[in-house]
Structure 1
Amino acid sequence: MSFSIRQLINPSDKELDETADVLAKAFEYSYFLSALGGNRELVVPFLRAHLNAALLEGEIYVVEVPTDGIVGGAVWFGPQHKFISTPEQRAAGWDDIMAKLEPKFQKFWDQFLVDYDDLCETSFGPGVKLASYHLQVFGVVPDYQRRGFGRALIEAVADKAKPKGDTLVLETMGETRVAIYKAMGFKMAGSGSVRGVNDADWVFYCLKRPTAPDTETTT
């Protein structure tokens, strides 16, 4: 099946809405659902906030097919940029989502983001994530999964990162997803638990993929 990968440069609201909806479908409208108070109506706006933040300091890539248009997307933050790390990024949709949550979920997010950053620093090493291309959100709608579309989205940024030897990093949940990323060349950097909603332990796996040639020798 023919498809194309495109970076969204100065996208229209329609393209952003379509990409947010596609990402929501990829996660079956459950992306961080419990941390959104179980309100499925917030999932698409929450993902749109990710896209809005990436327009300011990140990059958005989509996969398109002739019949259905956008069927997958990836949000990346390149070296020296980080998701919702600036007031401008937060004001581009994140703050609006937080304002719609009950106070207990607002407090959850404040603490979760700190704990999550700590896990990443421990797993990847100090400063490694910020110096890398970080995959913030990534998904392909179910009908188009297992066709190489996801890999193509990853390779688009890997090709961009390779000239400078920048590393690709990501975090995910579940061993099934870990296996998928390992098949794309990622290796485990570390893992750990972060306090989730209702004191649940959320286990995250941190993976990385160097793009520079491997200069290590074996004996």
Structure 2
Amino acid sequence: MSLKEELFTAIIKATLLEGRIYVVESGGEIATMCLVFRKPASLFGSEAQKALGFTEVFEKLDPKTQHWWKNQYPAQMAEKEKTIISQEEWDKMWYFSMVATDPKHQNKGFASHLMNTFFDEVNKNGDIFGLSTGSEVNVPKYETMGFKERGRIVMKTPVNEFPCVWLTRG
């Protein structure tokens, strides 16, 4: 948690470089934001993105977490992704790396509005959306936005386990 601000800054910079950021403002502040990448680009998927802050954050992680992030995490993800989403789908996918709403603005439809607006824009080309969530609470929320669950695994980290649920729309 001590690295959360540095990590978030690196995430924003990486997305500005190779992705898109969509926001909803309410009362002069950001209420909701979505960070989106068009495959094959992905968050921290290039050395140029990593150089914008992630490399420094990574070096501050303990060796066990570094090993997990570099080796175990990608292996767990790649193994499951291949079985649930076809290459044809990946080739036309926009992937939401982050969807976040400030708690005081939740349940006002801001995230749904952003996603629906973006979906209407890119669906004209036959593209699809993908995302994953590490929270069971989010699955029904995404399903009400038109996403369908495609698969899940239990992600094992050095300190805990959490569900990783993939969903697509389009």
TM-score, length of structure 2 as denominator length: 0.91
Contiguous gaps of at least 5 residues in structure 2: none
Q: Distance in 1 between matches of 2:41 and 2:28?
A: 32
| Contact persistence 1:72–1:141 (CA under 8 A) | yes
The AA in structure 1 aligned to 2:44 is I
In structure 2, do the counterparts of structure 1 residues 136 and 193 end up closer, same or farther at CA, with 3 Å as the change threshold? same
Residues 196 and 125 of structure 1: CA distance in aligned 2, closer, same or farther (over 3 Å)? farther
Which residue number corresponds to residue 33 of structure 1?
Answer: none
One-letter amino acid of the counterpart of residue 66, structure 2: Q
What's 1:162 paired with? 123
Q: Which amino acid aligns with 2:114?
A: L
Normalized per residue, which structure has more strand? 2
Match of 2:80 in 1: 119
Aligned residues of 2:92 and 2:126 also touching (Cα < 8 A): no
Q: Which residue of 1 aligns with 2:70?
A: 110
Q: For residues 160-192 of structure 1, what are the alpha-carbon distances to aligned partners after superposition, in whole Å with 9 as ceiling and x for unaligned?
A: 211101000000123221000000000011111
Trace 1:33-72 onto structure 2 (pairs within 5 A): 40-65=1-26, 67-72=27-32
Q: Is the contact made by 1:80 and 1:131 (CA closer than 8 Å) also made in structure 2? A: no
Q: Cα RMSD between the aligned structures?
A: 1.6
Question: Separation in 2 of the partners of 1:95 and 1:129?
Answer: 26
Residue in 1 that maps onto 2:105 = 144
Secondary structure of the 1:77 match is strand
**Percentage identity across aligned positions?**
26
SS at match of 1:61: strand
> How many angstroms apart in 1 are the aligned matches of 2:2 and 2:127?
37
Larger radius of gyration: 1
Show the counterpart of 2:148: 187
Rate the CA distance shift 1:201–1:130 in 2: closer, same or farther, 3 A: farther
2:88 and 2:68 mapped to 1: Cα distance? Answer: 24
- 1:75 aligned residue (32, 35, 39): 35
Counterpart among 41, 55, 75 of residue 95 in structure 1: 55
- Counterpart in the other structure of 2:134: 173
For the Cα contact (< 8 Å) 2:15–2:21, is it kept in 1?
yes
Gaps of 5+ in 1: 1-39, 211-219
Deviation string 1:69-104 (CA, Å, 9 cap, x unpaired) is 212211000133222121101111111110111111
Residues 64 and 158 of structure 2 are in contact (CA less than 8 Å); yes or no, is this contact kept in structure 1?
A: no
Taking the aligned partners of 2:74 and 2:24, their CA distance within structure 1 comes to 29
Residues of 2 paired with 1:84 and 1:140: CA distance?
22
Deviations 1:135-180, CA, capped at 9 Å, x for gaps:
0011101110000111012123212211101000000123221000
- Using the TM superposition, give the Cα deviation of residue 133 of structure 1 relative to its aligned residue in structure 2, in angstroms: 0.4
